[in-house]
Amino acid sequence: MLPRRFPSGLRPEKKPCADGESQQHLPASMVLDDDNLLIEILSFPTTLVCATLVCKRWLCHASDPKFLSLFRNRHPPRVLGFYIYGGSAWIWLGAPLLFVPMQPQPPELAPFISRVASHSFGADNDRLCIMDCRNGSVLTRCRRGTILTHGVHRPLCPQRDMDVIPPLPRAQYHGQQIFNTILSKEEGGVLSYLYMLAEFFSKTKSFRVRVYMLQGGVWCMHASATTQLPRLLTSLAVVLVDDKIYMADTFSDEIIVLDMTTSGFSTILLPQGVNFHCVRTIMSRAGDASGVYLTHIHVKELQLCIWLHKGDNWLLVDTICLHQMWDNLMMLDQTLRMSILVLIV
Tens digit of each residue's pLDDT (9 = 90 or more) over 4-24? 444 444 444 555 555 555 555
pLDDT at 5: 46
SS3 string, the chain, reads CCCCCCCCCCCCEEEECCCCCEEEECCHHHHHHCHHHHHHHHCCCCCHHHHCCCCHHHHHHHCCHHHHHHHHHHCCCCCCEEEEECCCCCHHHCCCEEEEECCCCCHHHHHHHHHHHCCCCCCCHHHEEEEEEECCEEEEEEEECCEEEEEEECCCCCCCCCEEECCCCCCCCCCCEEEEEEEEEEECCEEEEEEEEEEEECCCCEEEEEEEEEECCEEEEEEEEEEECCCCCCCEEEEEECCEEEEEECCCCEEEEEECCCCEEEEEECCCCCCCCCCCEEEEECCCCCEEEEEEEECCCCEEEEEEEECCEEEEEEEEEHHHHHHHHHHHCHHHHCEEEEEEC
Average pLDDT over residues 26-51: 68
pLDDT at 93: 46
Instruction: Name the residue ranges covered by the structural domains of the chain.
Output: 29-73
pLDDT at 339 over 50: no
Q: Buried b vs exposed e over 145-178: b needs ≥16 C-beta within 10 Å?
A: eeeeebbbbbbbeeeeeeeebeeeeeeeeebebe
d(CA 83, CA 334): 15
Average pLDDT over residues 110-117: 87
pTM: 0.72
Around Cβ 311, how many Cβ atoms within 10 Å? 8
Q: What mean pLDDT value characterizes the chain? A: 76
pLDDT at 312: 83
Asked if residue 340 lies in contact with residue 86, where contact means CB atoms within 8 angstroms, the answer is no
pLDDT at 146 over 60: yes
Q: Output the CA torsion 262→263→264→265 (10° steps).
A: 130
pLDDT at 90: 43
Asked if residue 319 lies in contact with residue 303, where contact means CB atoms within 8 angstroms, the answer is yes
pLDDT at 194: 94
Phi/psi for 217 (5° steps) reads 80, 10
pLDDT at 254 over 70: yes
d(CA 311, CA 323): 33
Higher pLDDT, 168 or 173: 168
Tens digit of each residue's pLDDT (9 = 90 or more) over 256-266? 999 999 999 99
pLDDT at 51 over 70: yes
